[in-house]
Structure formats: structure tokens, C-alpha cells
Amino acid sequence: MTDYGKARLVQLEEDIELFNEMGATAVKKLTGILNAVRVAMADLKDKVDNSSFKDIDEEIQFFKYVKPQFYAHHIYALELFKIDTDKPLGDQQVLRNYYEQELKFIRKFLNKHLFLYQYYLLDGSELDSSYFVRGKNQVNLLLSDGPDLDPLFSTACDYLFARFIAIEKLQEYLIQCLYHSNGMEPVAKFSKKKGPFKWTGDKSNLIELAYGIYDTVQINDGHVTIAEIIEWLEESLEVSLSRYYRRFTEIKMRKSISKTKYLDDLRDALAKHIAEGDAYKPLPLKSLSKPK
């Protein structure tokens, strides 16, 4: 079931990419994307109706990680359309105020659902059987403005997790608009001189590091978004981390390897450096686990 969902999601995202590249009007683009999501969700529901999960763990994986990514596209498309169509006419400061106000709305929403948002960020699992198994009586956790939910195709928190995914992507978009539209520079100005440093490792490793920095509140006393940290790393290390939110979802879904594999490797490498002192010679991470 989960494998089918992943494959269908790839197809959906390809359809959405086509609509984004067509150059159609905003209304036609929105209509096309919403229809693509509707069809994909119908296919997903049909698969659930006519199949069965092999166990509770697979049901949790599906409603926690797979289904939310589908509906997140619906939410994001609607919110993005609203932001773009409501954008006021005016100078840079007017636009800046508008984008900052939209970011405040996002922060207010996340603060309203702070416990569950932290559960989402930390990939908690203790309450999964209540949040992501059908038939659980957790109505109080649902958003008041949520859609009518089919109890055979919904759980207490899958819609809310879809909102989190969409909002993180929307937050990234707003920050890009705030800092780069009309020639505006980021608030935290970095040197435009390109350094000799370029990230040559796996991008998922860098995303692990970015979330580690964000979740341990190491920059600006925590007054920074994950999107800003991602942007900083992209500029500093000459790397593109587009769709980092999707890669992070893939990291959270890991089963055969540790969800914090790169951070584990960093810890092991540092411990070895401490033990060996100046004699330590760094090796590529893939070489660390090779037998001598």
C-alpha cells in the first residue's frame, strides 16, 4: 500500500510540474492542479477501499507519511493562489509588510498547534496509534476548518500533517518573496563573493544537518526559520536544496537505516578524531564503516 502511494505521488507531482510550466493563467493553473490532486486522492482512496494494510504499522506509515503529502498539494495550491491574488499594489515596503503579515499568520497557526507541530518536526511515534489509525475518537485534534472526512480514509491527524507540509512550503515561498522580489536583499546579508567551498556530499545529509541546527536552536536564539537556514547553506556551499521538505519526509520514512544516519556518522567521526588526536585523517563517510 505504501509503495503504491509513493509511486502515485511521483505521478501527481509530475502532473503538477507540467501545470506550473504551461504558462497558463493563475486560475487555469489552480484548476488543473486541484483536479490532478482530486484524481490522485480518488485513486488512493480506491486502493485503500479495495485492499488492506498488512498490519497497524503499515496503516500508520500510510496515514502519517503518504496521504498527507497528497493533500498538502491541494492546500498549498489554494493558499498560494490566495496570497498571489491578494497581493497589494505598492512599493517594496508595502509588499514587504504584506509578506511579513502572511508569515505572522503562519506562525500563529503553528503556535496554535504547537504540540502536534513539534510532534511532526521530531517525528514522534509515541501517540501514532491514536493519531494515525482509523476509528480513533480524536475529534478534538482536528482543525475546525478541515474538510468533511471519510472515517474509512482519514485519521485524527493526517489532515493536520498535510497542513504542516503545505505551510512549510508556503513559508519558504514567502521568505523568497520577502527577500528577493524587486531586488531586495536578505535581512541577514552574506557576502556575495563565492568561496571555494562546495557541498559534494549527499544532499540528504546536508538537510539532516540543517534540521539539526534548527531543532537545537543554535542560530539567532531560535529566531530563524528552517527555510532561512536552508537558504544560508545553499548560498554558503553552492548547492541547491530545492524540495528539501520532501527530502526530509523521505528521511522520516527511513526503515532500513537510521533516520539520523549522517548525524550518527558525524558523531562517530568526531569521536575517532578525539581519540586519535592530530594523527586523525578524515576520510569520506562511506569509508568510515569499511573494515580495516
15 and 151 together in one domain:
yes
Establish if 188 belongs to a structural domain.
Answer: no
* Cα maximum dimension of the chain: 65
Q: Which domain holds residue 266?
A: 203-288
Query: Which pLDDT belongs to residue 184?
Result: 44
128 and 238 together in one domain:
no
Q: Which residue has the higher pLDDT, 2 or 14?
A: 14
Confidence class for position 283, pLDDT limits 50, 70, 90: low
Closest-CA residue to 16 (of 72, 93, 92): 72
Q: Which residue has the higher pLDDT, 102 or 185?
A: 102
185: left (phi over 0), alpha (psi -120 to 50) or beta: beta
Query: Which pLDDT belongs to residue 46?
Result: 92
Q: What is the pLDDT of residues 218-249, one digit of tens each?
A: 888 777 788 888 888 888 888 888 777 777 87
Establish if 194 belongs to a structural domain.
Answer: no
Task: Look up residue 222 and give its amino acid.
Answer: G
172 and 261 together in one domain:
no
Do residues 76 and 166 lie in contact, with contact meaning Cβ atoms separated by under 8 Å? yes
> Can you give the pTM of this predicted structure?
0.64
Q: Which three cell numbers stand for residue 221?
A: 536564539
Residue at a domain's end among 154, 183, 212: 183
Confidence class for position 190, pLDDT limits 50, 70, 90: very low
CA angle 273, 277, 279 (to 5 degrees): 95
Q: Which residue has the higher pLDDT, 101 or 277?
A: 101
Q: Which residue has the higher pLDDT, 39 or 286?
A: 39
277 and 230 together in one domain:
yes
Domain count, the chain: 2
Establish if 197 belongs to a structural domain.
Answer: no
Establish if 193 belongs to a structural domain.
Answer: no
Query: Which pLDDT belongs to residue 286?
Result: 55
175 and 210 together in one domain:
no
Query: Which pLDDT belongs to residue 147?
Result: 62
252 and 170 together in one domain:
no
Q: Which three cell numbers stand for residue 261?
A: 544516519
Please say if the pLDDT value at position 289 is more than 60: no
User: Backbone phi, then psi, for 200, in 5-degree steps?
Assistant: -115, 5
Q: What share of the chain is helix, strand, coil (3-state, %, to 5)?
A: 65, 0, 35
